[in-house]
Amino acid sequence: MKRYHVTTFGCQMNEHDSERMKGMLESIGYAEAPDPDAADLILFNTCSIREAADSKFLAHLGHAKRRKRERPDVVIGVGGCWAQSVKDEVFQKFPFVDVAFGPGQVHKLAEFLTSESLTAQGYFEFEGFAGDLPEKRAREFQGWVQISVGCNMKCSYCIVPSTRGRDVARPLQTLVADVERMASEGVTEVTLLGQNVNAYGRDLHRRGFTPATFAQLLEAIDAIDGIERIRYTSPHPQDMKEDVARAHAELSALCEHVHLPLQSGSSRLLKAMRRTYTRERYLDRVALLREHVPDVALTTDIIVGFPGETDEDFEQTLSLCEEVAYDGAFTFVYSPRRDTEAADFPDQVPHEVKVERMDRLVETIQRNAHERAQRFVGRTLEVLVEGPSRKDPTRLRGRSRHNKVVNFVGLAQPGDYVHVEIERATSQTLTGEESLLARATGGAAALAR
Ligand code: SAM
Ligand code: SF4
């Protein structure tokens, strides 16, 4: 039996594409190898969002090249956003690569592997979503659902629209059928994926499908038996409307967590980024969410050192972070990307200024997240158990509905929902003990979401 190994870089969308690559490879008779050296097919699912992602991948590719020299029959494949951004150039630069494909072309990999000729081949069309691929889930109780491909926004720093194409929604009925199938296979938590999830459905009518909004999709998935938790990433602040905020209050499976990418707290910079909202509009969206779900956990993405960012702009980002008091954030140093508008902007910020601002931003985020997390101490939270704790295997690790990692002492199994009494909180994790009272009474006694 032939064996494959997939190395994944980047976001959850890529993680999900890799699950589909693995499922598809197993359906054509391949088995997973524990490391690339034991594989007949070495695959990379690449990311190109920042320069660091490119460099990390290129180091891995060097290893694959040496492997191919030792064993010329090994097949080397490169998929994902980096492959899409360089297209056929990949074969000129790295002649040992056998097959390359963009993010929408996962299914072409099977076509390539099962065809007679193995001359190098590239697949870079945007075809929408390649459906009906089996996925091999990392945990059988958690599933990803890609609700749309691509992005219609034009954020001036971002390479995604050129690597993933226009926003194309998958029809609501298809998504519901997918989640029903997943629920029947034991999935209880789903994460809906898209680049701008709350713009979902705008193209459905034009393409001849029943129109649907993101809030309607959430409602339809909430109604599916067996689905206990719904998460999604990422919404765009421009499209965060009252119906979605209300859904958070009304739908029992929809978690009390929203990841709402900010990018900058300065309206001037937001305009240069083409983010289509101002600082005030963003704060209105936060107020709307907190009005409907006062305890909602908010996380975000922030870029420091965007071209032209002044001290004053940066201070505005810090002050917004103090005002919102996020539960957590992904912080990124701006990285110029090929074929993006901002890469040619004047006033690129010097590296040492970026680093200094990043330190201050991380301090602000962590201090606020630490303070926010104290609200959980003394509460009993519902936790979905994921496995043993990474640092201390005698403890268990799971996630609360607010998407906080919870390490705790308990008897549960991966996939169980348990109630944990929270004793301590840091900016990143909560620590506690499984509520045995709740276990004895089947959970009814101690639930406080
Ligand atoms: N569509 C999502 C959104 O708008 O939030 C996710 C886009 S991207 C995969 C995730 C994050 O990467 C963005 O929110 C942004 O903060 C960051 N990012 C994108 N391009 C970047 C760049 N050129 N330099 C630094 N960070 C970048
Ligand atoms: Fe990139 Fe902006 Fe689209 Fe997000 S919304 S994927 S940042 S263009």
The DSSP result for 44-68, as a single string, is: EEE--SSHHHHHHHHHHHHHHHHHH
Pocket test for ligand 1, best of 85, 167, 301 (most atoms within 8 A of CB): 301
Task: Indicate which atom in ligand 2 lies nearest the CA of residue 236.
Answer: 5
Ligand 2 centroid from CA 380, angstroms:
37
Mean pLDDT in residue range 30-46: 96
Rounded (10°) angle between helices 12-27 and 106-114 = 30
With bands split at pLDDT 50, 70 and 90, how would you rate the model's confidence at 442?
low
- The residue nearest atom 15 of ligand 1, judged by CA position, is 301
- Kindly report the backbone phi and psi dihedral angles of residue 122, in degrees, each rounded to the nearest multiple of 5, phi listed first: -120, 145
Strands (E), 142-296: 142-146, 148-149, 168-169, 189-193, 229-233, 257-259
In whole angstroms, give the CA distance from residue 221 to residue 330. 28
Residue 104: predicted pLDDT: 77
| 3-class secondary structure, 312 | helix
For ligand 1, atom 7, the nearest C-alpha belongs to 195
For range 205-215, the mean pLDDT: 96
- Residues near ligand 2 with C-beta < 6 Å? 151, 153, 155, 158, 160-161, 195-196, 236
Q: How far is the CA of 160 from the centre of ligand 2 (A)?
A: 6
For the Cβ of 50 lying below 6 angstroms from any atom of ligand 1, the answer is: yes
For the stretch 328-338, pLDDT in tens is 999 999 999 99
Q: What percent of the chain has pLDDT over 70?
A: 97
- Angle made by CA atoms 335, 340, 344, in degrees to the nearest 5: 75
pLDDT in tens, 353-393: 999 999 999 999 999 999 999 999 999 999 999 999 988 99
State whether the beta carbon of 337 lies less than 6 angstroms from ligand 1: yes
pLDDT at 209 over 70: yes
Lowest mean pLDDT among 13-17, 109-113, 156-160: 109-113
pLDDT of 171 > 50? The answer is: yes
The residue whose CA is least distant from atom 6 of ligand 1 is 195
Collect all residues with Cβ–Cβ distance below 8 Å to 440 and sequence separation of at least 6: none
Which ligand is the nearest neighbour of the Cα of 235? 1
Query: CA–CA distance from 224 to each of 22, 71, 169, 175 (Å)?
Result: 27, 49, 20, 11
Residue 241 CA to residue 431 CA, distance in Å, equals 34
**How many Å lie between the centroid of ligand 1 and the Cα of residue 423?**
35
pLDDT tens digits, residue range 57-92? 999 999 999 999 999 999 999 999 999 999 999 999
Residue 163 Cα to ligand 2 midpoint, Å, equals 11
**Ligand 1 contact, 277 CB (< 6 A):** no
In the structure, how many helices (H) and strands (E) does the chain have? 14, 19
Separation between Cα atoms, residue 77 and residue 39, nearest integer Å: 12
| Helix (H/G/I), strand (E/B), else coil: 43 | strand
| Closest C-alpha residue for ligand 2 atom 2 | 155
Say which amino acid occupies 330: F
For the CA of 50, the nearest ligand? 1
pTM comes to: 0.93
DSSP-derived 3-state class of residue 138: coil
Tokens 């169980």 -> residue: 416
How many C-beta atoms surround the C-beta of residue 138 within 10 A?
Answer: 13
Determine the distance separating the centroid of ligand 2 and the alpha carbon of 195, expressed in angstroms. Answer: 6
Where is 430: in which H helix or E strand?
strand 429-434
Query: What is the C-alpha to C-alpha distance for residues 269 and 188, in angstroms, rounded to an integer?
Result: 40
- pLDDT for 198 beyond 90: yes
- How far apart are the two ends of the chain, measured CA to CA in Å? 48
* CA separation for the pair 194, 150 (Å, rounded): 8
pLDDT at position 443, please?
A: 57
Note the ligand closest to the C-alpha atom of 151.
2
What span, in angstroms and rounded, lies between the C-alpha atoms of 240 and 248? 12
Q: How many residues appear in the chain?
A: 449
Beta carbons of 167 and 199 less than 8 angstroms apart: yes
Closest CA relative to residue 201, chosen from 179, 220, 185, 186: 220
Closest-lying ligand to the alpha carbon of 341?
1
Mutate to test the pocket of ligand 1, among 49, 147, 239 (most ligand atoms within 8 A of CB): 49
